[in-house]
Chain A
């Protein structure tokens, strides 16, 4: 019996991860997919999903921070103090 392999790290970005995930889904939703391959792919899909969720969360945090700064910014205010 072969042991499931550790999924490859996500090398690209979110879009690449989603694209890979869509491809995995098409593959595992095929009835002919080998169960061993299925397990590997599901594991990979879970990794990609985690990656994507993490990116979404990071993006959400970054967007919240950025938009909060924009909403509260005073266009005529003094520049930030330095030192």
Chain B
């Protein structure tokens, strides 16, 4: 590095100072400043391109932009003051916009700028009046630096060191590295809050942009590494590529690689991919996506825990349904069988009833016939018996009639009695003069015996 502090005799090419009475040539500050300015302008008559890292960028109300371009080397740090006048700023911004807005002039950004060197007398500073910028340089530098860092980490076995850590099944204790109050923080916490799970969140406020950002982020990751958390989440909202430079920084990358907890990154927009993303356990594209990822992991665990129970419930449900189906089929079979059996029994009973009716009818018919026959036989036999008795009575009556004296008298026979009523049976019983009473069929006559004449018995 050139020795900018060298003194010595004035260069003879410089305009002479006024004599000061000491015999030496003495410059006033203005004279010297002007002389320096002249020399600088003479040495760098046109614009020069210079590269370095932006430091101490400020935007005062004047509309100008001031910063220092810094280059650190083994010999020390070199610094060049830069002023971007308001009227040049529009052109620079236009160039930056053409680059897709991926480059923004912030502290820590490596830039290549063009401008005119001059000496700013009021501050006694060599100053570059910036006129233009090369965004491609910045992007390229970042890409190259990123690639180199990734290579180094890979060579050291750190690129997937964090990914080898097991992620807790229920990562509910979360350490968050972000800028407090940022949209990124809000997006992440909102995602976690909207889930049904009770996340325990510890937020570590860090600078996510600027020169201090890498150290701040790395320190926070390291600090959370010693804390009782399940996972560390590093989130930052989107911005220019240069805004996310901290997440391409080696400090941050190593902090993530060496963190004992899985680190989830959620940095920038979806198109951005930082070194932090490369070394993280999981790289979410946005803070919201980081929240969704964690909720998803917990939900998976939840489901994994619920699934066996759900499977048991489903199995039981299937068993119940199968049993129900079987029961219904059995019931249907039983119903069918019972119906068939009932029909069969009814048919059998009907058959029996029919047979009973037929048999009974036949029996009753036979009984009726028998009864009628019996009645006829009874009447017949009874009539015969009665006729027999009638005839017998006739016979008896005839026999009685034969013995009836009335019938004999009707044929002319008579009965003779004495006065005392006794029957006269023999002539020998009578003497003359005896009165006798003779009864005939129609009356009785009295007679007196005048003579008896016994006749010999034939």
Interface residues of A (CB under 8 A from B): 1-2, 14, 18, 21-22, 24-25, 28-29, 33-36, 38-39, 41-42, 45-46, 49, 52-53, 56, 59-60, 63-64, 66-76
A24 to B376, CA, bound (A): 36
Contact status of A45 and B396, CB under 8 A, knowing A2-B421, A70-B374, A71-B375: yes
A49 touches B368 (CB 8 A): no
A67 touches B396 (CB 8 A): no
A29 touches B403 (CB 8 A): yes
B389 touches A38 (CB 8 A): no
Residue of B nearest to A53 (CB): B393
Residue of A nearest to B417 (CB): A1
Contact status of A75 and B371, CB under 8 A, knowing A60-B382, A67-B378: yes
Interface residues of B (CB under 8 A from A): 361, 364, 367-368, 371-372, 374-376, 378-379, 382-383, 386, 389-390, 392-393, 396-397, 399-400, 402-406, 415, 417, 421, 423, 437
Chain B nearest CB: distance from A16 CB in Å?
14
| Cβ-neighbour of A49 out of B376, B378, B396, B437 (below 8 A) | B396
A-B interface contact total, Cβ < 8 Å: 98
| Cβ-neighbour of B386 out of A1, A56, A76 (below 8 A) | A56
Residue of A nearest to B365 (CB): A75
A70 to B378, CA, bound (A): 10
B368 touches A73 (CB 8 A): yes
B403 touches A42 (CB 8 A): yes
Contact status of A28 and B371, CB under 8 A, knowing A59-B382, A63-B383: no
A45 touches B364 (CB 8 A): no
A20 to B376, CA, bound (A): 32
Given contacts A36-B423, A38-B403, 11 further A-B contacts (CB under 8 A): A33-B403, A41-B403, A49-B397, A49-B400, A63-B379, A67-B376, A67-B382, A71-B376, A74-B368, A76-B361, A76-B364
A-B contact list, 14 entries, CB within 8 Å: A21-B396, A42-B406, A45-B400, A46-B400, A56-B393, A60-B383, A60-B386, A63-B379, A63-B386, A67-B375, A71-B371, A73-B371, A75-B368, A76-B364
Chain B nearest CB: distance from A49 CB in Å?
5
| Cβ-neighbour of A29 out of B364, B390, B399, B417 (below 8 A) | B399
A67 to B406, CA, bound (A): 42
A22 touches B396 (CB 8 A): yes
